[in-house]
């Protein structure tokens, strides 16, 4: 059965790798990002009924307008993937700039909340749908020099598990650790050493069917794509 799937951070990394596989399975993908060139490429490669729009998830009003534009046409999403995230400059916590810390929390935590607040009411009213909030191994353990990122992903784990307890029967919220992937974000932390890990398109081949098979049975689980 074809699904309506919302993906934040669809212009790069894991989100971008998922899009073609989800489309190939016959699903409608509604993605957002901030890179106009990448958005134009997505629109060219995956035209209507798919939709790829410029959205800054740190802006509450912008996210609300995005949802208000999509919901009347497509209805509530069957699968909502909160993927958009950033990582901090690798540094001891006391050397992190306050503005950088604030921006990271705005994207990784506030942005997730804003997207949920925009789409969840319609999903709850319908009584079905799966929410996947991208977490990290650094949301379940820690490493030095990425304390802000760890803090944000620990927040996602807690937010998701609490949300799962609030949802009506028939819905699910899960946190998903994608594993270690050679993305631009990982390279920001590990440099060329990130090249020792799998590429996003390789990960997506396993992750897409995994995500599509999630359902109410998975509500509240902290999962990992293996």
Residue 35, domain CATH: 3.40.50.720
CA distances from 156 to 38, 45, 89, 204, 220 (A): 27, 32, 20, 21, 12
Which residue range forms the structural domain that includes residue 67? Answer: 4-224
What is the per-residue pLDDT across 186-207, written as a single tens digit (0 to 9) for each? Answer: 556 655 655 555 688 899 999 9
pLDDT at 200: 83
Task: Decide if pLDDT at 158 tops 90.
Answer: yes
pLDDT at 199: 81
Task: Decide if pLDDT at 147 tops 80.
Answer: yes
pLDDT at 181: 77
Q: What is the pTM of this model?
A: 0.94
How many domains, in total, are found in the chain? 1
In sequence order, what are the residues at sequence separation of 6 or more whose Cβ sits closer than 8 angstroms to the Cβ of residue 159? 109, 112, 113, 133
DSSP type of residue 31: E
Q: Active-site residue among 74, 149, 154, 197? A: 149
pLDDT at 88: 94
pLDDT at 193: 53
DSSP type of residue 168: P
149 a catalytic residue: yes
User: Is the distance from CB of 135 to CB of 153 less than 8 angstroms?
Assistant: yes
**201 vs 211, which has greater pLDDT?**
211
Considering the chain, what percentage of its residues have pLDDT values greater than 90?
Answer: 88
Considering the chain, what percentage of its residues have pLDDT values greater than 70?
Answer: 92
What is the bridge-based pairing of β-strands 222-224 and 28-33? unpaired
Split at pLDDT 50, 70, 90, the class of 125 is very high
State the distance between the two ends of the chain, measured CA to CA, in whole angstroms. 25
Mean pLDDT of 10-35: 97
Split at pLDDT 50, 70, 90, the class of 84 is very high
**Among candidate residues 26, 103, 16, 13, the one with its CA nearest the CA of residue 57:** 103
What is the per-residue pLDDT across 34-54, written as a single tens digit (0 to 9) for each? Answer: 999 999 999 999 999 999 999
CA distances from 165 to 80, 116, 172, 219 (A): 17, 15, 9, 8
């Amino acid at each position: 059965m074809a699904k309506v799937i919302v993906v934040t951070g669809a212009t790069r990394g894991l989100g971008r790798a998922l899009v073609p596989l989800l489309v190939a399975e016959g699903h409608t993908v509604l993605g957002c990002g901030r890179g106009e060139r990448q958005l134009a490429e997505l629109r060219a490669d995956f035209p209507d009924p798919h939709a790829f729009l410029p959205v800054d998830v740190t802006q509450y009003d912008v996210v609300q307008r995005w949802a208000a534009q999509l919901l009347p046409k497509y209805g509530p999403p069957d699968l909502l993937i909160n993927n958009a995230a950033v990582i901090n400059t690798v540094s001891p916590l006391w050397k992190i700039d306050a503005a950088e810390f604030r921006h990271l929390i705005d994207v990784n935590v506030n942005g997730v909340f804003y997207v949920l607040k925009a789409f969840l009411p319609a999903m709850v009213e319908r009584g079905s749908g799966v929410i996947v909030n991208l977490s990290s191994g650094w949301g379940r353990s820690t490493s030095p020099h990425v304390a802000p990122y760890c803090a944000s992903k620990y927040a996602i784990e807690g937010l998701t598990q609490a949300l799962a307890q609030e949802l009506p029967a028939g819905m699910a919220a899960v946190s998903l650790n994608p594993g270690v992937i050679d993305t631009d974000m990982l390279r920001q932390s590990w440099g060329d050493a990130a090249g020792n890990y799998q590429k996003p398109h390789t990960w997506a081949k396993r992750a897409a069917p995994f995500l599509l098979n999630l359902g109410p049975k998975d509500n509240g689980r902290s999962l990992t794509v293996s």
